[in-house]
Amino acid sequence: MTSIEPQATFKRVMLKISGEALMGDQGFGLNPPTVERIAREVQSVHELGVEICMVIGGGNIFRGLQGSAQGMERTTADYMGMLATVMNALAMQSALEGLGIHTRVISAITMNEVAEPYIRRRAVRHLEKKRVCIFAAGTGNPYFTTDTAATLRANEMSCEAIFKGTKVDGVYDKDPAKHADAKRYETVSYDDVLAKRLGVMDASAIALARDNNLPIIVFSLDEPGGFRGILAGEGTYTRVQG
Protein backbone atom coordinates (compact mmCIF):
# COMPACT_ATOMS: atom_id res chain seq x y z
CA MET A 1 0.00 0.00 0.00
CA THR A 2 1.50 3.32 -1.07
CA SER A 3 1.27 6.42 1.09
CA ILE A 4 -0.52 9.44 -0.33
CA GLU A 5 1.40 12.71 -0.32
CA PRO A 6 -0.67 15.45 1.36
CA GLN A 7 -2.08 18.08 -0.95
CA ALA A 8 -1.69 21.76 -0.12
CA THR A 9 -4.86 23.77 0.44
CA PHE A 10 -3.26 26.92 -1.02
CA LYS A 11 -1.18 27.36 -4.15
CA ARG A 12 0.50 30.69 -3.28
CA VAL A 13 0.98 32.11 0.20
CA MET A 14 2.74 34.89 2.09
CA LEU A 15 4.72 33.91 5.19
CA LYS A 16 5.19 36.83 7.59
CA ILE A 17 7.57 36.41 10.51
CA SER A 18 9.11 38.87 12.93
CA GLY A 19 12.79 39.64 13.07
CA GLU A 20 12.73 38.44 16.67
CA ALA A 21 11.86 34.96 15.39
CA LEU A 22 15.42 34.73 14.00
CA MET A 23 17.07 35.48 17.36
CA GLY A 24 16.56 32.09 18.97
CA ASP A 25 17.43 32.37 22.65
CA GLN A 26 19.65 35.38 22.04
CA GLY A 27 18.53 38.86 22.96
CA PHE A 28 19.69 40.42 19.72
CA GLY A 29 20.77 39.66 16.15
CA LEU A 30 20.66 36.40 14.20
CA ASN A 31 20.95 32.85 15.48
CA PRO A 32 22.06 30.72 12.47
CA PRO A 33 20.55 27.42 13.75
CA THR A 34 17.20 29.18 14.23
CA VAL A 35 17.36 30.69 10.73
CA GLU A 36 18.12 27.22 9.32
CA ARG A 37 15.24 25.65 11.26
CA ILE A 38 12.78 28.17 9.80
CA ALA A 39 14.29 27.64 6.35
CA ARG A 40 13.58 23.91 6.71
CA GLU A 41 9.96 24.71 7.55
CA VAL A 42 9.77 26.73 4.33
CA GLN A 43 11.47 23.90 2.44
CA SER A 44 8.84 21.40 3.64
CA VAL A 45 6.06 23.60 2.25
CA HIS A 46 7.99 24.31 -0.96
CA GLU A 47 8.13 20.54 -1.51
CA LEU A 48 4.31 20.49 -1.60
CA GLY A 49 4.51 22.69 -4.72
CA VAL A 50 3.32 25.83 -2.92
CA GLU A 51 4.60 29.17 -4.22
CA ILE A 52 6.00 31.11 -1.27
CA CYS A 53 6.54 34.81 -0.59
CA MET A 54 8.15 35.98 2.64
CA VAL A 55 8.40 39.20 4.60
CA ILE A 56 10.67 39.28 7.66
CA GLY A 57 10.67 42.08 10.21
CA GLY A 58 13.81 43.80 11.44
CA GLY A 59 13.18 44.09 15.18
CA ASN A 60 16.04 41.76 16.08
CA ILE A 61 18.47 44.37 14.70
CA PHE A 62 16.72 47.73 14.79
CA ARG A 63 13.13 48.88 15.31
CA GLY A 64 12.29 52.27 13.87
CA LEU A 65 9.58 53.09 16.39
CA GLN A 66 11.94 52.49 19.31
CA GLY A 67 14.61 54.66 17.70
CA SER A 68 12.04 57.40 17.25
CA ALA A 69 10.97 57.09 20.89
CA GLN A 70 14.57 57.66 21.94
CA GLY A 71 14.74 60.97 20.10
CA MET A 72 15.81 59.92 16.61
CA GLU A 73 14.01 61.54 13.70
CA ARG A 74 11.20 59.13 12.75
CA THR A 75 11.85 58.93 9.02
CA THR A 76 15.56 58.18 9.53
CA ALA A 77 14.74 55.57 12.18
CA ASP A 78 12.24 53.86 9.87
CA TYR A 79 14.75 53.69 7.02
CA MET A 80 17.25 52.11 9.40
CA GLY A 81 14.59 49.54 10.29
CA MET A 82 14.06 48.81 6.58
CA LEU A 83 17.78 48.14 6.14
CA ALA A 84 17.61 45.68 9.05
CA THR A 85 14.96 43.70 7.16
CA VAL A 86 17.33 43.42 4.19
CA MET A 87 19.98 41.87 6.43
CA ASN A 88 17.45 39.32 7.70
CA ALA A 89 16.27 38.58 4.17
CA LEU A 90 19.84 37.90 3.01
CA ALA A 91 20.37 35.54 5.97
CA MET A 92 17.20 33.62 5.09
CA GLN A 93 18.16 33.54 1.42
CA SER A 94 21.51 32.01 2.34
CA ALA A 95 19.82 29.34 4.49
CA LEU A 96 17.25 28.47 1.81
CA GLU A 97 19.80 28.26 -0.97
CA GLY A 98 21.90 26.03 1.29
CA LEU A 99 18.91 23.66 1.13
CA GLY A 100 18.81 23.88 -2.65
CA ILE A 101 15.87 26.27 -2.95
CA HIS A 102 16.24 29.07 -5.49
CA THR A 103 15.50 32.33 -3.69
CA ARG A 104 15.28 36.00 -4.62
CA VAL A 105 15.59 38.93 -2.22
CA ILE A 106 13.52 41.79 -3.63
CA SER A 107 14.01 45.18 -2.01
CA ALA A 108 11.69 48.17 -2.02
CA ILE A 109 14.85 50.32 -1.61
CA THR A 110 17.19 50.07 -4.57
CA MET A 111 20.45 48.30 -3.73
CA ASN A 112 21.35 46.39 -6.87
CA GLU A 113 24.51 44.83 -5.46
CA VAL A 114 22.60 42.72 -2.91
CA ALA A 115 18.95 42.54 -4.00
CA GLU A 116 16.63 42.96 -6.97
CA PRO A 117 14.46 46.07 -7.14
CA TYR A 118 10.75 45.43 -6.70
CA ILE A 119 9.04 44.97 -10.06
CA ARG A 120 5.69 43.25 -9.65
CA ARG A 121 5.62 41.29 -12.90
CA ARG A 122 9.17 40.04 -12.41
CA ALA A 123 8.37 38.91 -8.88
CA VAL A 124 5.28 37.04 -10.10
CA ARG A 125 7.44 35.30 -12.71
CA HIS A 126 9.90 34.20 -10.01
CA LEU A 127 7.00 32.64 -8.09
CA GLU A 128 5.74 30.87 -11.19
CA LYS A 129 9.21 29.37 -11.55
CA LYS A 130 8.92 28.10 -7.94
CA ARG A 131 11.49 30.51 -6.54
CA VAL A 132 10.93 31.79 -3.01
CA CYS A 133 10.61 35.59 -3.03
CA ILE A 134 11.67 37.43 0.11
CA PHE A 135 10.37 41.00 0.04
CA ALA A 136 12.66 43.31 2.02
CA ALA A 137 12.74 46.98 3.06
CA GLY A 138 9.05 47.10 3.85
CA THR A 139 7.00 49.20 1.45
CA GLY A 140 9.98 51.48 0.86
CA ASN A 141 8.21 54.23 2.82
CA PRO A 142 8.56 55.35 6.44
CA TYR A 143 5.58 55.11 8.82
CA PHE A 144 4.55 51.70 7.45
CA THR A 145 5.25 48.45 9.27
CA THR A 146 6.39 45.14 7.79
CA ASP A 147 2.89 43.81 8.62
CA THR A 148 1.48 46.34 6.16
CA ALA A 149 4.24 45.52 3.66
CA ALA A 150 3.40 41.81 3.89
CA THR A 151 -0.29 42.47 3.30
CA LEU A 152 0.44 44.83 0.41
CA ARG A 153 2.81 42.37 -1.32
CA ALA A 154 0.43 39.46 -0.67
CA ASN A 155 -2.30 41.33 -2.51
CA GLU A 156 0.02 42.37 -5.34
CA MET A 157 1.23 38.77 -5.76
CA SER A 158 -2.34 37.40 -5.64
CA CYS A 159 -1.55 35.25 -2.61
CA GLU A 160 -4.43 33.17 -1.28
CA ALA A 161 -3.54 33.72 2.39
CA ILE A 162 -1.07 35.34 4.77
CA PHE A 163 0.55 32.96 7.26
CA LYS A 164 1.61 34.89 10.35
CA GLY A 165 4.16 32.87 12.33
CA THR A 166 4.19 33.72 16.05
CA LYS A 167 5.20 32.19 19.39
CA VAL A 168 1.66 30.95 20.09
CA ASP A 169 -0.66 28.68 18.12
CA GLY A 170 -3.28 31.25 17.23
CA VAL A 171 -5.14 34.33 18.42
CA TYR A 172 -6.26 34.42 22.06
CA ASP A 173 -8.69 36.69 23.90
CA LYS A 174 -5.80 37.56 26.27
CA ASP A 175 -2.13 36.76 26.65
CA PRO A 176 -1.87 32.95 27.16
CA ALA A 177 1.59 33.39 28.73
CA LYS A 178 0.02 35.42 31.56
CA HIS A 179 -3.49 33.99 31.81
CA ALA A 180 -4.16 30.26 32.18
CA ASP A 181 -7.81 30.78 31.22
CA ALA A 182 -7.00 32.46 27.89
CA LYS A 183 -9.17 31.08 25.08
CA ARG A 184 -8.03 30.58 21.51
CA TYR A 185 -10.25 31.62 18.64
CA GLU A 186 -10.78 29.09 15.83
CA THR A 187 -11.87 31.93 13.57
CA VAL A 188 -12.20 35.65 14.21
CA SER A 189 -13.35 38.49 11.99
CA TYR A 190 -11.17 41.38 10.84
CA ASP A 191 -13.49 43.80 12.61
CA ASP A 192 -13.23 41.90 15.92
CA VAL A 193 -9.43 41.93 15.67
CA LEU A 194 -9.58 45.71 15.32
CA ALA A 195 -12.31 46.32 17.90
CA LYS A 196 -10.79 44.04 20.56
CA ARG A 197 -7.22 45.04 19.74
CA LEU A 198 -6.13 41.41 19.53
CA GLY A 199 -2.68 42.32 18.22
CA VAL A 200 -2.57 40.04 15.17
CA MET A 201 -1.17 42.77 12.93
CA ASP A 202 -1.35 46.55 13.00
CA ALA A 203 -4.63 48.23 12.07
CA SER A 204 -3.62 49.29 8.55
CA ALA A 205 -2.56 45.72 7.67
CA ILE A 206 -5.82 44.26 8.99
CA ALA A 207 -7.86 46.86 7.12
CA LEU A 208 -5.99 46.15 3.88
CA ALA A 209 -6.55 42.40 4.29
CA ARG A 210 -10.23 42.97 5.06
CA ASP A 211 -10.78 45.23 2.07
CA ASN A 212 -9.34 42.55 -0.22
CA ASN A 213 -10.84 39.56 1.60
CA LEU A 214 -7.40 38.07 2.23
CA PRO A 215 -7.44 35.52 5.09
CA ILE A 216 -4.73 35.61 7.76
CA ILE A 217 -3.66 32.30 9.32
CA VAL A 218 -1.99 32.79 12.72
CA PHE A 219 0.07 29.78 13.85
CA SER A 220 3.06 28.84 15.99
CA LEU A 221 6.38 29.06 14.22
CA ASP A 222 7.93 27.11 17.11
CA GLU A 223 5.83 24.02 16.37
CA PRO A 224 7.92 21.67 14.17
CA GLY A 225 6.07 20.96 10.93
CA GLY A 226 3.32 23.42 11.81
CA PHE A 227 3.53 25.44 8.60
CA ARG A 228 3.35 22.35 6.39
CA GLY A 229 0.68 20.76 8.58
CA ILE A 230 -1.72 23.67 8.19
CA LEU A 231 -1.24 23.72 4.43
CA ALA A 232 -2.04 20.00 4.41
CA GLY A 233 -5.27 20.70 6.31
CA GLU A 234 -4.09 19.84 9.83
CA GLY A 235 -2.67 21.60 12.88
CA THR A 236 -3.79 24.26 15.32
CA TYR A 237 -4.25 27.85 14.20
CA THR A 238 -6.62 30.80 14.08
CA ARG A 239 -8.10 32.03 10.83
CA VAL A 240 -8.83 35.75 10.55
CA GLN A 241 -11.47 36.32 7.88
CA GLY A 242 -14.53 38.27 6.88
In tens digits, the chain (242 residues) has pLDDT values of 444 455 678 999 999 999 999 998 888 899 999 999 999 999 999 999 999 999 999 999 987 777 777 888 999 999 999 999 999 999 999 999 999 999 999 999 999 999 999 999 999 999 999 999 999 999 999 999 999 999 999 999 999 999 999 989 999 998 888 888 999 999 999 999 999 999 899 999 999 999 999 999 999 999 899 999 998 888 899 999 98
**What domains appear along the chain, each with residue ranges and CATH number?**
12-241 (3.40.1160.10)
Q: pTM of the full predicted structure?
A: 0.93
Strand ranges for the chain from DSSP E: 12-17, 51-56, 103-107, 116-117, 132-136, 161-166, 187-189, 216-220, 238-241
How many residues does the structure list for the chain? Answer: 242
Cα distance between residue 239 and residue 225, in whole Å: 18
Give percent helix, percent strand, percent coil of the chain, each to the nearest 5: 40, 20, 45
User: Sign of the CA dihedral 29, 60, 15, 149?
Assistant: negative
3-state secondary structure of 34: helix
Cα distance between residue 163 and residue 190, in whole Å: 15
